[in-house]
């Protein structure tokens, strides 16, 4: 009896298993096993970051960049996974780095001179293999960069000081039209604080608006997936913004070309635009590239530098002691005359204020690069073609500085090694305009502070201002916290005498 029970042949197996198994059952079971294996697959990469999860990970990480903005997403991921981590953008492996030694390595070496971004997006706004800012063709970029270097250094640097002083004085004179009854100037500041340009073109309000629309298009399209450009009505408004500015630039270039054809001594008119125009006539540059170079020269200051100055004005209003220290230095170095090129190196307190402002409240706090060769960064393998985002703004608040989370000029009382402070970057693809930007900021701040002190309504400071952090940091200009008071200094002296 026991043997019969153990003998499997004693049973009719067909009474246990159905006679006909459904045809689709086996393939479905195999597919489920395959998906289960993929789901539980762990990548061998030693770089921290979210999991792949059947492709869901890359979709979520790219979506987070589109939803939160580039800057906010970088801060989120570095906080979540560490200062050297990996995500995906458009399906491509992307490193987000906020570690000073790693950032220094990337900036220093020539295999990281290429940038990354949506090819279709950059084509839409004219930056793909054109201009200098996001030109991802290293050979062509190297041909174009010298035009910018020459224009933004040497004699151009000296001329810019006088241009900034006169332009700032002109704008301040216009503020008299909104003077309040007590002599104060109550203005609702636009974040694009009016500043001087390179003197070659006169920026009218209409073209400034076109520049803002162009920047919005650039920021919106930079990381968009290719499928976005399959639906024309989604990107047409951005395409139009780019086209409008390019057409306006072409008019200015043609006007410049006409003036050059009538001058007697060309050497007296060989500025940035002139050099580009003659390079085009020699066949060295295309007309499209000339247009984009002039466009990028014009968009850099009205956007990035102007917002930087806006944040500085807010910080001055919040820190009257810092303003007093700057005014003492300005009076000692400059006195009652206008600031000049020889004064720049002597304005140490002003320079420390500018540096601390850019560290504490940056406008551009990230840099985007692409690896052109295989490499190893701080022990992590980096493959050719890997995208890299350098989270400089976060780095500035993690290492070296004694008061990293406070606004304090003590952070720059001692010499700061370059590896710990890189507001403009350095190396072969460092910001070509970093020297002229510092000169412009000094000239504008000194000219403004000699005439006015800046105040904000009580309880309204930098922390109250809503900001968006995408390609760069910008205040939300529709909010009610951008009001400032410009008080003439003679009124302050009179009040103190009374």
Here the CATH number for the domain that contains residue 329 is: 1.10.630.10
Mean pLDDT of 107-114: 94
Whether residue 98 lies inside any domain: the answer is yes
Whether residue 152 lies inside any domain: the answer is yes
**What six digits make up the tokens of 396?**
């500035």
Q: How many CB atoms lie within 10 A of CB 416?
A: 16
Give the dihedral of Cα atoms 401, 404, 409, 411; nearest 10 deg.
Answer: 0
Output the pLDDT for position 5: 41
Rank 32-46, 64-78, 187-201, 457-471 by mean pLDDT and report only the highest. Answer: 64-78
> d(Cα 318, Cα 300) in Å, to the nearest integer?
27
User: Residue 405 pLDDT > 60, yes or no?
Assistant: yes
User: Residue 53 pLDDT > 80, yes or no?
Assistant: yes
Whether residue 17 lies inside any domain: the answer is no
Q: What angle do CA 255, 256, 257 make, to 5 degrees?
A: 90
Q: How many domains does the chain have?
A: 1
**What six digits make up the tokens of 472?**
């760069």
Whether residue 493 lies inside any domain: the answer is no
Q: What is the band of 206 on the pLDDT scale with cuts at 50, 70, 90?
A: confident
Q: What is the band of 207 on the pLDDT scale with cuts at 50, 70, 90?
A: confident
Mean residue pLDDT across the chain: 84
Whether residue 494 lies inside any domain: the answer is no
* Closest to 148 (Cα-Cα) out of 471, 421, 473, 437: 437
Q: What is the band of 424 on the pLDDT scale with cuts at 50, 70, 90?
A: very high
Domain that holds residue 374: 24-488
Output the pLDDT for position 13: 39
- Check if the beta carbon of residue 316 is closer than 8 Å to that of residue 193: no
Mean pLDDT of 353-361: 96
User: Residue 385 pLDDT > 70, yes or no?
Assistant: yes
Whether residue 12 lies inside any domain: the answer is no
Whether residue 47 lies inside any domain: the answer is yes
Output the pLDDT for position 264: 81
Whether residue 14 lies inside any domain: the answer is no
431 is in an annotated binding site: yes
Print the SS3 string covering the chain: CHHHHHCHHHCCHHHCCCCCCCCCHHHHHHHHHHHHHHHCCCCCCCCCCCCCHHHHHHHHHHHHHHHHCHHHHHHHHHHHHCCEEEEEECCEEEEEECCHHHHHHHHHCHHHCECCCCHHHHHHHCCCCCCCCCCCCHHHHHHHHHHHHHHCCCHHHHHHHHHHHHHHHHHHHHHHHHECCCCCEEEECCCCCCCCCCCCCCCCHHHHHHHHHHHHHHHHHCCCCHHHHHCHHHHHHHHHHHHHHHHHHHHHHHHHHHHHCCCCCHHHHCCHHHHHHHHHHCCCCCHHHHHHHHHHHHHHHHHHHHHHHHHHHHHHHHCHHHHHHHHHHHHHHCCCCCCCHHHHHHCHHHHHHHHHHHHHCCCCCCEEEECCCCEEECCEEECCCCEEEECHHHHCCCCCCCCCCCCCHHHHCCCCCHHHCCCCCCCCCCCCCHHHHHHHHHHHHHHHHHHEEEECCCCCCHHHCCEEECCCEEECCCCCCCEEEEEEHHHHHHHHHC
- Check if the beta carbon of residue 356 is closer than 8 Å to that of residue 409: yes
Q: What is the band of 52 on the pLDDT scale with cuts at 50, 70, 90?
A: confident
């Amino acid at each position: 009896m026991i043997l019969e029970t153990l003998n499997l042949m004693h049973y009719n197996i067909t009474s246990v298993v159905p006679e006909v198994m459904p045809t689709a059952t086996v393939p479905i079971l195999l597919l489920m096993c395959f998906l289960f294996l993929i789901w539980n697959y762990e990548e061998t990469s030693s770089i921290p970051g979210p999991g792949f999860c059947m492709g869901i990970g890359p979709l979520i990480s790219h979506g987070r960049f589109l939803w939160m903005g580039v800057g906010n997403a970088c801060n989120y991921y570095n906080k979540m996974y560490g200062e050297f981590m990996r995500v995906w953008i458009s399906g491509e492996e992307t490193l987000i780095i906020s570690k000073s030694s790693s950032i220094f390595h990337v900036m220093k070496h020539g295999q990281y001179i290429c940038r990354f971004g949506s090819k279709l997006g950059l084509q839409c706004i004219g930056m793909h293999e054109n201009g200098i800012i996001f030109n991802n063709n290293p050979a062509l970029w190297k041909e174009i960069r010298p035009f910018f270097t020459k224009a933004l250094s040497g004699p151009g640097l000296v001329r810019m000081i006088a241009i900034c002083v006169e332009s700032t004085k002109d704008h301040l004179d216009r503020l008299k039209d909104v003077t309040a009854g007590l002599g104060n100037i109550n203005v609702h500041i636009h974040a694009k604080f009016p500043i001087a340009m390179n003197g070659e073109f006169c920026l009218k309000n209409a073209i400034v608006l076109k520049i803002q629309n162009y920047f919005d298009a650039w920021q919106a399209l930079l990381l968009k997936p290719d499928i976005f450009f399959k639906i024309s009505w989604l990107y047409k408004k951005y395409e139009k913004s780019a086209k409008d500015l390019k057409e306006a630039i072409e008019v200015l270039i043609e006007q410049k070309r006409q003036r050059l054809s009538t001058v007697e001594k060309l050497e007296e008119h060989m500025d940035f635009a002139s050099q580009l125009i003659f390079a085009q006539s020699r066949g060295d540059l295309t007309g499209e590239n000339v247009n984009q170079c002039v466009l990028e020269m014009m968009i850099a200051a009205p956007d990035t530098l102007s917002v930087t100055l806006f944040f500085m004005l807010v910080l001055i209003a919040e820190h009257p002691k810092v303003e007093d220290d700057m005014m003492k230095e300005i009076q000692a170095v400059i006195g009652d005359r206008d600031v000049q090129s020889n004064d720049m190196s002597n304005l140490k307190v002003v320079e420390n204020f500018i540096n601390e402002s850019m560290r504490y409240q940056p406008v551009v706090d990230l840099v985007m690069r692409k690896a052109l060769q295989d490499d190893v960064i701080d022990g992590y393998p980096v493959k050719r073609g890997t995208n890299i985002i350098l989270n400089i703004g976060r780095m500035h608040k993690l290492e070296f500085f004694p008061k990293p989370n406070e606004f304090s000029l003590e952070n720059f009382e001692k010499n700061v090694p370059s590896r710990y402070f890189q507001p403009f970057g350095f190396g072969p693809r460092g910001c070509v305009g970093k020297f002229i930007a510092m000169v412009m900021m000094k000239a504008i701040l000194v000219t403004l502070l000699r005439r006015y002190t800046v105040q904000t309504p009580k309880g309204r400071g930098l922390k109250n201002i809503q900001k968006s952090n995408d390609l760069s940091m910008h205040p939300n200009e529709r909010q009610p916290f951008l009001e400032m008071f410009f008080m003439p200094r003679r009124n302050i002296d009179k009040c103190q005498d009374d």
